[in-house]
């Protein structure tokens, strides 16, 4: 019994230019894909700090409780990060129902806003934020003053552009 070898001739209709165009398309698609693993860049953190959507105090205190999903949407962070901050900081004490769902009071949301400000905007470490909150009993008042000054600055900037 003899074995025959079969060969195939492939005719390439693609030119080198077509091949390089395909490679460049593949590279741009791979580079455009956002890497979601690892730590966030500081520049991305700064950009995200301006995007939080926490209602004013009158609006905030209209509801008695906020679910963890609603709170995480306000701060534009994952619910797991809110749970982590709850474990790390003693000032956060959300209510839990029999099922174990967390419900944050408006005071808890204000405390989360302060924690978010310390960690994301002022770039404190978690330990540094804990020490800051423990040593500065009037941290809420300082934060409220900073927020009012930010509002005043934005108002004055709008006034300046309208002149």
Residue 29: band (very low, low, confident or very high) from pLDDT cuts 50, 70, 90: very low
Residue 62 forms part of a structural domain? yes
CA distances from 140 to 30, 50, 151 (A): 45, 19, 17
Residue 106 forms part of a structural domain? yes
Residue 17 forms part of a structural domain? no
- Residues 74, 43: Cα–Cα separation, whole Å: 20
Residue 121 forms part of a structural domain? yes
The pair phi, psi for residue 142, each rounded to 5°, is: -65, -40
Residue span of the structural domain in which 143 resides: 45-162
Q: Residue 132: give its domain's CATH number.
A: 1.10.1660.10
- What is the CB-side half-sphere exposure of residue 24 using CA atoms within 13 A? 6
SS3 at position 102? strand
Nearest 5°: CA angle at 25, between 19 and 28? 140
pLDDT given for residue 19 in this prediction: 54
Burial class (CB in 10 A: 0-12, 13-18, 19+), 103: middle
Residue 145: band (very low, low, confident or very high) from pLDDT cuts 50, 70, 90: confident
Residue 4 forms part of a structural domain? no
pLDDT given for residue 3 in this prediction: 75
pLDDT given for residue 47 in this prediction: 56
In this structure, the chain runs to a length of: 163
CA distances from 9 to 6, 18, 96, 104 (A): 10, 21, 71, 70
Show the 3-state SS of 10-54: CCCCCCHHHHHHHHHHHHHHHHHCCCCCCCCCHHHHHHHHCCCCC
Residue 134 forms part of a structural domain? yes
* Model confidence pLDDT, tens digit, residues 34-64: 555 666 666 665 555 556 777 777 777 888 8
Residue 3 forms part of a structural domain? no
Residues 6+ apart with CB under 8 A from 114: 133, 139, 140, 143
* Model confidence pLDDT, tens digit, residues 104-144: 998 898 889 889 988 988 889 999 999 888 887 776 677 77
The total of structural domains in the chain comes to 1
* Model confidence pLDDT, tens digit, residues 57-96: 777 788 888 889 999 888 888 999 999 999 999 888 889 8
Contact between 66 and 104 under an 8 Å Cβ cutoff? The reply is: yes
Residue 137 forms part of a structural domain? yes
Q: What is the mean predicted confidence (pLDDT) over 22-26?
A: 56
């Amino acid at each position: 019994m003899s074995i025959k070898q079969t060969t195939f001739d492939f005719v390439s209709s693609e030119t080198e230019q077509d091949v390089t165009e395909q490679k460049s398309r593949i590279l741009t698609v791979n580079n455009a894909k956002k890497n979601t693993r690892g730590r966030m860049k500081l520049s991305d953190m700064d950009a995200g700090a301006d995007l939080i959507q926490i209602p004013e105090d009158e609006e905030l205190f209209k509801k008695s409780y906020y679910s963890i999903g609603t709170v995480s949407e306000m701060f534009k962070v994952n619910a797991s990060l809110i749970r982590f901050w709850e474990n790390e900081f003693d000032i956060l004490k959300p209510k839990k129902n029999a099922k174990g769902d967390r419900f944050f009071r408006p005071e808890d949301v204000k405390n989360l806003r302060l924690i978010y400000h310390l960690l994301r905007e002022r770039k404190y470490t978690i330990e540094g934020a804990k020490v800051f909150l423990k040593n500065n009993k009037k941290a809420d008042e300082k934060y409220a003053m900073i927020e009012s000054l930010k509002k005043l600055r934005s108002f004055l900037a709008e006034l300046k552009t309208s002149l």
